[in-house]
A and B are shown apart, each in its own frame.
Chain A
Amino acid sequence: MSEFDQSKIRNFCIVAHIDHGKSTLADRMIETTGVLTSREMQNQVLDNMEIERERGITIKSQAVRMVYKAKDGEEYVFNMIDTPGHVDFGYEVSRSLAACDGAILVVDATQGVEAQTLANVYLALDHDLDVFPVINKIDLPSARPDEVKEEIEDVIGIEAHDAPLVSAKMGTGIEDVLESVVHKIPAPKGDPAAPLQALIFDSVYDSYRGVIVFVRVREGVLKKGMTAKCMASGASWEVVEVGYFGPGQFIPCDELSAGTVGYFTASIKNIQDARVGDTVTDAENPCAEALPGYKKVMPMVYCGLYPADTARYPELRDALEKLQLNDASLFYEPETSQALGFGFRAGFLGLLHLEVIQERLEREYNLDLVSTAPGVVYKVHKTDGTVFDLTNPSNLPDPSEIEYMEEPIVNGEIMVTTDYVGSIMQLCQERRGRYISTEYIEATRAVLKYELPLNEIIYDFFDALKSRSRGYASFDYEIKGYEQSELVKLDILINREQVDALSFIVHKDGAYERGRKMCEKLKGEIPRHLFEIPIQAAVGGKIIARETVKAMRKDVLAKCYGGDISRKRKLLEKQKEGKKKMRQIGSVEIPQQAFLSVLKLDEGN
């Protein structure tokens, strides 16, 4: 294809609250620009991972190039960069935004401005992007576009009176959006003659070509055959291929010059060498300085992952290795549990990231997993003056060696209709939240600001929030930092043996309640044995709760169904099969379900 001059390029992204229709709008734009025929369109072209499509969220950012013939008769190249829609991937969002010059803000005509809308818009403005709003879902009977426009102007403070009115679902108003991109989003700047300076905003691993690095070229030209160097990692390679993004495919070209968005491959084996946020330059003619904003993202949430069938440990290792090729933020290291055998301690950006990885392991690699309760990273200050990051509760030193501990705190913003302010405040209180402020953005809606310990929101905070607000509350948070806290390790003893996989760190005030619930839940999960089994919760060797699984007195099928023996056999086989799936702790057999169910303590309580 012919080269375009910079003034005909538009690099932009779409930001929205979850479910406001970002992906559908992107699909329609791709369809309308005619790059794809309708038949080729699978719904939501951009979300190309199976789980993403099912959950309707975008996990990894993606990009696509479109050619649009505008009403002024000129052809424009649009590079649309899709950003992940979840707070877990905040850093990836920020790098995607850094690759753009403008942003389309999609707001649902029925829902109006939501917590993530605000957070995403502010993030876009922070990156100096020009933002214009689009009102989506105007086909719905409850749409109130005029009110929503007003809300955007009042709450966010950006011009909205001429915002395109769109129904991405029905395909109406798409032309308006495309025209607005031409007129409202600035063309990129940058000198093609300057030394190469390109921002990595994403990367994927391909088993034939190695890592495919997604870049926005700021200055200079990236071309085949040159030696590219990553400034933060220091790694360099000879560029094998450069190209741009067709919908769902890579289209090679000769070079990418300043202002464009595209990809390159260079037989890069390790995704860690070309991390998101790093700056790519010409090894022989490097630019003066790296682009700002690079940081290595650290996992925030950890859990133990074990194969349900201990013999499948090597398969789990291989699967994690493969997933890591594509996901530089996934961390794992081998660990051993007395209860669960050989497995891994894995670190994730957040709970969604954790769930996505678990699902991919189970679905794409067909592994049955037992995972331990997710925990955050605690800082343990020891009496000898050293500090270390605690990711596995089992590694907590003896209390006498601990000076104090710190836990991560987040700044949380909850947007909620005024009816539910009371119940949401109560929830935050229960979760050890520290109240900061309430801001009314209109008569019926408020933004509650709280500081919350991360370990209080990683379990089921979202669920609780939704259920206590009948689905009306939206939530967003960012990590604030670490604070000293009175934390203890809660241990579970089954038949007087401590089960390492069930230990976790909890605030001292919540220990009793949590321990009691754990024991209650485990009592229901552990089948009766020939002997009585005490289940105890302990903090620092002191028992704080106890339940007992009574000895089995009866396990008999009184009637034997005449000659229908196969039925009896099935029953016995089921019983035997059940036993196979148990984990042996001392003389007690514990079903795997027990390890999973204690993760969901608060549901239904």
Chain B
Amino acid sequence: MNSIMEFLNMGGYGAYVWSAYGITFVVMIIAIVIPLRQHATLRKRLTSQLKRKNQS
């Protein structure tokens, strides 16, 4: 338990170290999720457009 607290404390620099790592990983995940969702939305839109055109 003590060693975990010590690890998180980072010699007093915990707030700096962990916020740097936290921001990095949140941003990196968002930067993958956004284009994935954009791709899915675009695909759906194009498909429904095509199907409408084919019906008329």
Q: Does A pair with B?
A: no
